[in-house]
């Protein structure tokens, strides 16, 4: 039963709180930001250090509550508000990255994937806006280029359109660290075949890996983004133990399943990705496999 009041507004102090030594599920229902942030920062420590707490969170509705905090907290000018989102996000990432396969499955089931998709999408759009703005500005400044006015207008229009799209999702948090954590979490969530299937099911609207793949572009994104997105892509190619060790065609638009474990040919370079046909392989290479395909050395093969 929910207690009538979880905090004393006069002193902004929580009745029930989470400390580094004590977990109390009720503290997550606190509606005042300050005590909630306080509890969340302790929970952040607990989720990174205690397997027991990670397990409890998946059974007492704590994980659902954390995801709800992420869904309902919108980026504002209020630092405390944003801090609440950051702390809740780190808790979810800790649970997903450090949890057992069963716990990772729960992270997907309680609805974390759409939040991850939102973060990646917003970051990509943000980078696109910066790139388009730069191009439009360069074109305007470069007198010697004699760029036709129509082309300049088109560049400007593209930039304006991207900026408007970004503005429509300006409630989404998408800082550098959030993206790293997102990619890291996805790399772990996609490790085992059962969770991977769930991941694909729960990101039905936009395939999460087609977003992840865009972060593998070296020289465009920071090295740690490239690293974690590449790990996530390679994990996505793992065999499925529940389907007799079969793999899917690694071309994201195809994803056809093998009928037996040796049906498709592997990429000769990395020996990770498998393709149902030469066409799928060359399309996938163009789309981005070339960025995360790492040549397998004899020592790595042994
Ligand atoms: Zn295919
Ligand atoms: Zn390859």
Q: Looking at residue 301, what is its pLDDT? A: 45
| 234 CA distance to ligand 2 middle (Å) | 9
Q: Looking at residue 13, what is its pLDDT? A: 57
| 34 CA distance to ligand 2 middle (Å) | 49
Is the pLDDT at 187 greater than 80, yes or no? yes
- Enter the DSSP assignment of 217: -
Hey, which residues does 158 pair with through a beta bridge? none
The pairing of strands 265-266 and 13-14 is unpaired
ipTM metric:
0.96
Q: What is the pLDDT of residues 143-158, one digit of tens each?
A: 556 667 778 888 889 9
The residue-averaged pLDDT of 128-155 equals 80
| 131 CA distance to ligand 2 middle (Å) | 29
Lowest mean pLDDT among 136-140, 142-146, 162-166: 142-146
Instruction: Say which ligand is closest to the CA of 272.
Output: 2
Q: Looking at residue 29, what is its pLDDT? A: 92
> Which DSSP helix (H) or strand (E) runs through 272?
none
Q: Looking at residue 3, what is its pLDDT? A: 45
Q: Looking at residue 145, what is its pLDDT? A: 61
Hey, which residues does 257 pair with through a beta bridge? 248
How far is the C-alpha of 157 from the C-alpha of 229, rounded, in Å?
A: 31
The residue-averaged pLDDT of 189-198 equals 81
| 293 CA distance to ligand 2 middle (Å) | 4
Burial of residue 96 (CB within 10 Å: 0-12, 13-18, 19+) is buried
For the record, the structure tokens of 241 come out as 């133990």
Determine contact, residues 209/252, Cβ cutoff 8 Å.
Answer: yes
> What is the end-to-end Cα distance of the chain in Å, rounded?
57
Instruction: Say which ligand is closest to the CA of 285.
Output: 2
CATH class of the domain whose range is 1-111? mainly alpha
Q: Looking at residue 97, what is its pLDDT? A: 96
Lowest mean pLDDT among 105-109, 182-186, 195-199: 195-199
Q: Looking at residue 8, what is its pLDDT? A: 53
207/275: higher pLDDT: 275
Domain span(s) for CATH 1.25.10.10 in the chain: 1-111
Determine contact, residues 169/135, Cβ cutoff 8 Å.
Answer: no
Read off the pLDDT band of 292 (50, 70, 90).
Answer: very high
Long-range CB pairs of 78-86, under 8 A, 24+ apart, other chains included? 78/33, 80/33, 80/34, 80/37, 81/33, 82/173, 83/37, 84/33, 84/36, 84/37, 84/40, 85/173, 86/173, 86/178
Is the pLDDT at 12 greater than 90, yes or no? no
| 262 CA distance to ligand 1 middle (Å) | 14
- Enter the DSSP assignment of 262: T
Is the pLDDT at 93 greater than 60, yes or no? yes
| 270 CA distance to ligand 1 middle (Å) | 17
Is the pLDDT at 205 greater than 60, yes or no? no
Q: What is the pLDDT of residues 20-68, one digit of tens each?
A: 889 999 999 988 889 999 999 999 999 999 999 999 999 999 999 999 9
For the record, the structure tokens of 235 come out as 């994990």
Q: Could you tell me which residues come within 8 angstroms of residue 99 by beta carbon, excluding any fewer than 6 positions away?
A: 54, 55, 58, 106, 107
Is the pLDDT at 195 greater than 80, yes or no? no
266/7: higher pLDDT: 266
Determine contact, residues 291/230, Cβ cutoff 8 Å.
Answer: yes
User: Where are the alpha helices (H) located in the chain, listed in sequence order?
Assistant: 33-49, 51-59, 62-72, 79-98, 101-109, 113-141, 149-168, 176-189, 193-202, 208-214, 223-235, 278-284, 290-292, 298-301
How far is the C-alpha of 77 from the C-alpha of 88, rounded, in Å?
A: 18
248/10: higher pLDDT: 248
Q: What are phi and psi of 142, to 5 degrees?
A: -80, 90
Instruction: Say which ligand is closest to the CA of 230.
Output: 2
Q: Which residue has the tokens 């090295």?
A: 223
The residue-averaged pLDDT of 79-95 equals 94
Q: What is the pLDDT of residues 239-280, one digit of tens each?
A: 887 778 888 899 988 888 889 888 999 999 998 899 999 999
The residue-averaged pLDDT of 175-184 equals 95
Phi/psi zone of residue 99: left (φ > 0), alpha (ψ -120 to 50 degrees), beta? beta
Q: Looking at residue 261, what is its pLDDT? A: 84
């Amino acid at each position: 039963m929910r207690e009538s009041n979880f905090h004393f507004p006069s002193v902004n102090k929580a009745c029930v709180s989470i400390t580094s030594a004590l977990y109390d599920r009720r503290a997550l229902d606190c509606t005042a930001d300050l005590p909630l942030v306080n509890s969340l920062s302790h929970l952040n420590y607990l989720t990174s250090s205690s397997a027991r707490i990670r397990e409890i969170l998946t059974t007492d509705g704590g994980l659902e509550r954390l995801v709800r905090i992420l869904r309902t907290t919108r980026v504002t000018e209020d630092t405390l508000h944003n801090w609440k989102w950051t702390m809740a996000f780190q808790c979810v990432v800790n649970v997903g990255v450090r949890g057992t396969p069963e716990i990772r499955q729960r992270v997907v089931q309680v609805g974390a994937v759409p939040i991850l998709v939102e973060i990646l999408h917003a970051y990509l759009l943000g980078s696109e806006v910066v790139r388009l703005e730069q191009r439009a500005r360069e074109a305007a400044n470069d007198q010697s280029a004699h760029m036709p006015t129509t082309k300049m207008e088109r560049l400007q229009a593209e930039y304006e359109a991207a900026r408007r799209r970004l503005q429509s999702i300006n409630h989404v948090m998408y800082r550098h660290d959030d993206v790293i954590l997102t990619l890291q979490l996805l790399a772990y969530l996609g490790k085992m075949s059962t969770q991977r299937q769930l991941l694909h099911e729960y990101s039905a609207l936009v395939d999460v890996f087609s977003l992840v793949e865009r972060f593998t572009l070296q020289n465009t994104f920071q090295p740690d983004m490239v690293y974690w997105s590449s790990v996530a892509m390679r994990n996505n190619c793992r065999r499925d133990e529940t389907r007799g060790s079969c793999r899917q065609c690694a071309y994201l638009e195809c994803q056809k399943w093998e009928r037996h474990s040796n049906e498709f040919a592997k990429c000769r370079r990395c020996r990770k990705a498998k393709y149902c046909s030469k066409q799928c392989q060359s399309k996938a290479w163009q789309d981005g496999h070339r960025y995360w395909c790492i040549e397998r050395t004899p020592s790595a093969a042994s």
